[in-house]
Amino acid sequence: MSMDVMWLRSSALEVGVIAYGARIVSVRTPDRDGRWGEVTLGLSDLDAYREAPGYLGASVGRYANRIAGARFTLDGTEYRIPPNEGENALHGGPGGFDSYDWATDGPDGAEVTLRHTSPDGDNGFPGTLAVAATYRVEGPELTIEYTATTDAPTVLSLTNHAYWNLAGGGTAEDHEVQLHAGHVLPVGGDSLPTGPPVPVDGTPLDFRSPARLGARIRDGHPLLVNVRGYDHAYVLEGTAGELRAAARVVEPRTGRTMELRTDQPSVQFYAGNMLNGTLVLRDGRTARQGDAFCLEAQNFPDAPNHPDYPSAVLRPGEEFRSRMVFTFGAE
């Protein structure tokens, strides 16, 4: 089945978006020699997206990342979500936002807004939620903005799950990564946070200075062993709610660069640990661990079960708002 791709273009960027999962299926940008190339993993057609695991390019929710025990308590009432990763709920549970065809406003060539209504009780979450995802291209910048309102108290965390490879293919382990975060959330073997943020000082999780993605990924540090590589929530410096620098990535062979700014409290840095060679990409190659990375700006994982984490509660009369700004270039 072919895809109805909505293209957003500028002189420095081309972004393809589809309604299924309000997802990115293509991002093209030039290298240092002016040659355009694909920098995000994608699949060949719509059927492939409907069948594939991994959330490639999708908008995920209602709750991005994991909720322990697939349950949480809000205002004294316990809510249960169908588990889809052992006993836990990942990215909102089975049949999350990534698996719906969103309604579309536009596109106008540079911007498109996609909308979805999640009814009260959807996957166990309370409240009818009206959510919008807007993709906007301006010069070298791709802005992803999520907004949402609810008619009853609920919990919410939304993000985009694009897989990046600025080289256009092959391993991503030579990318140089910088993350503006001095702390991460510690995780156990189930990838769930186990407590308050811990400093990255003296560990292979320290990317405050640029470092090659693959340089320390096989280190025996427990926080890497627990999740088979990088899959950690980095606690961003600065004030949550304000747009600030989160990450910068450089691919040395092509010279392509990508910077991320966000207003969210953390960014999940994921190095594709679960890519195992069974996912066939648009060019016929398979994706394996280390072939791409994700930078998912979001609230803390499992925040509904951690009173000391930033609140994920959205109440009637409030508006949820999240922004990610990816800026592409070459050096």
Q: Are 64 and 298 in contact (CB under 8 A)?
A: yes
Is residue 321 a known part of a binding site? Answer: no
| Other Cβ atoms within 10 Å of 315 Cβ, number | 13
Burial tier of 205 (Cβ tally within 10 Å: 0-12, 13-18, 19+) = buried
Residues identified as active-site: 161, 296
Is residue 221 a known part of a binding site? Answer: no
Q: Compute the distance between CA of residue 291 and CA of residue 283 in angstroms, rounded to an integer.
A: 14
Q: Compute the distance between CA of residue 50 and CA of residue 191 in angstroms, rounded to an integer.
A: 25
Q: Are 47 and 71 in contact (CB under 8 A)?
A: no
Distance set, CA 319 to CA 69, 147, 148, 150, 161 (Å)? 27, 7, 6, 8, 22
Two tokens, residue 74: 């809000």
Task: Reduce the DSSP state of residue 145 to 3 states and report it.
Answer: strand
Is residue 315 a known part of a binding site? Answer: no
Q: Cis link prior to 62 (omega < 30° from 0)?
A: yes
Q: What residues contact residue 117 under an 8 Å CB cut-off, 6+ apart?
A: 128, 129, 130, 131
Distance between the two ends of the chain, CA-based, in angstroms?
Answer: 38
Is residue 65 a known part of a binding site? Answer: yes
Residue numbers in the known binding site are 65-66, 161-163, 231
List residues forming the annotated binding site for beta-D-galactose: 65-66, 161-163, 231
